[in-house]
Amino acid sequence: MKMRYNLKTFSIFRTLPTFGLPDFSLLSDLRTFQTFGLEMDNIEQYIEALIFASEQSIRSEEIIYCLQSAFSQDFSEDEISGYIQNITNKYHDQQFAIEVVKVSNGYQFLTKKNYHQVISLLQAQRSKKKLSQAALETLAIIAYKQPVTKPDIEQIRGVNCDYSIQKLLEKELIAIIGKSEALGKPILYGTSILFMDYFGINNINELPQMKDFTNNTASIGEESE
């Protein structure tokens, strides 16, 4: 499985944990926007900036919310889609090392595949807190078996998974998605939006088949029979 790299070093805003609209509490007064000298002629550039500034993929409705708050004017989803298509076409040119990709029902700037090898060297150099093998195996089980409970995960791995699950929750790669109807109603775990962003997929159905996954040299966990 190849990862798509998002190399942004900062973000103007953070999305809420509930994956709702961005938290614009610091920009709630529209007079703040007026000091920036916003111009309607540059709508496409503002959309481009929003996509770039968002750490995770940004949905059309979030873009519409931002623009309507800034300009006090309505924007349709068709308008926004047209602007995004223009931006996508612009970065499709070979002179750019990044591109706009639709991920998790939103849009995000990611580096093009041609540059993944050299970027992976940078990622490896800077990565000081990698997931342990145990956490990777736990993540693989959750990804392919979700929704799944901790007892089910531990039955597959044969060891206690408390620490691995806690680490995956801290890194927001998995999420609590409900409770099982089984005795004791154990918590159900599934992968998060961030997980899909990280691996450059739109939904879980795009995960490689298990046999392909285990044959990959970069596979997560031990090779299954």
Give the mean model confidence (pLDDT) for residues 71-94: 95
Q: In the structure, what pLDDT confidence band is assigned to residue 60 with cuts at 50, 70 and 90?
A: very high
Which CATH architecture best describes the domain 133-215? Orthogonal Bundle (1.10)
Q: What would the 3-class secondary structure string for the chain be? A: CCCCCCCCCCCCCCECCCCCCECCHHHCCCHHHHCCCCCHHHHHHHHHHHHHHCCCCECHHHHHHHHHHHHCCCCCHHHHHHHHHHHHHHHCCCCCCEEEEEECCEEEEEECHHHHHHHHHHHHHHCCCCCCHHHHHHHHHHHHHCCEEHHHHHHHHCCCCHHHHHHHHHCCCEEEEEECCCCCCCEEEEECHHHHHHHCCCCHHHCCCHHHHHHCCCCCCCCCC
What is the pLDDT, as a whole number, of residue 22? 47
- Report the pLDDT value the prediction gives residue 121, as an integer from 0 to 100: 76
Per-residue pLDDT, 33: 45
| 189 vs 14 pLDDT, higher one | 189
Percent of the chain with pLDDT over 70: 73
**In CATH, which of 3.30.479.30, 1.10.10.10, 3.10.50.40, 3.40.50.720 is domain 25-121?**
1.10.10.10
Residues 6+ apart with CB under 8 A from 118: none
Q: What is the pLDDT of residues 16-57, one digit of tens each?
A: 333 344 444 444 444 444 435 567 789 999 999 999 999 889
Q: Where in the chain is the domain with CATH 1.10.10.10?
A: 25-121, 133-215
